Amino acid sequence: MDLRVVPATPGIDYIADERIREWARALVRADIRTFARARQRFLEKPNAKRLHVLRTSARRLRSLYDDVRAIVPVPKRGALSRLIGLTGEARDASALRIALASALDMRERDAGRRYENMLRKRERRGLRNVYRALLHLHIEAP
């Protein structure tokens, strides 16, 4: 039997309230575990594919934070957002290279190659920046 004393506020079901919190905490814990695995894999071998997995898991976690932050703690949301920004720089460079390759006219290939090389450099720099930021980012489940 639950003997906790709770203030009687009309319209609030405290048992339901606790069930919702527990559901939200379980979702946050699961997403943090997924992010931690993606982080570990990226640190072992930073490449574009693992960056994509890392970025997706970070975005999912931040999105969940935004959904449930009114009822459960959302640890390190700011640091997570900064990391997502960094992953975006590396990902954009990679995506732009692919988009450019699909449209580049051969008469303009010299200018296109210059731009492509610049994107490659930006992508490598982005991977390094993500790696450095990840070394300092550990998220503990609430």
Partner 1 sequence: MKARTIDLSDATGVEDAMRRIAIVRFAEVLSLAPSLRHGRPAELHNLRIACKRLRYALERFTPRVPSLFDGTTRLTQIQDTLGEVHDRDVLLQALPHDMQVTRARINVQRGEALARARALLLDAFAAYGPFAGLMRFTGLGYGFGDGEGVAAL
Q: Footprint of partner 1 on this chain (CB under 8 A)?
A: 11-13, 16-17, 19-20, 23-24, 27, 59-60, 63-64, 66-71, 92, 95-96, 98-100, 102-105, 107-108, 111-112, 115
Q: Minimal distance in Å, beta carbon 135 to partner 1?
A: 26
71 vs 135, which CB is nearer to partner 1? 71
Burial of residue 83 (number of CB atoms within 10 Å: 0-12, 13-18, 19+): buried
Instruction: Write the burial class of residue 46 (CB in 10 Å: 0-12 exposed, 13-18 middle, 19+ buried).
Output: middle
CB of 18 to partner 1, least distance (A): 11
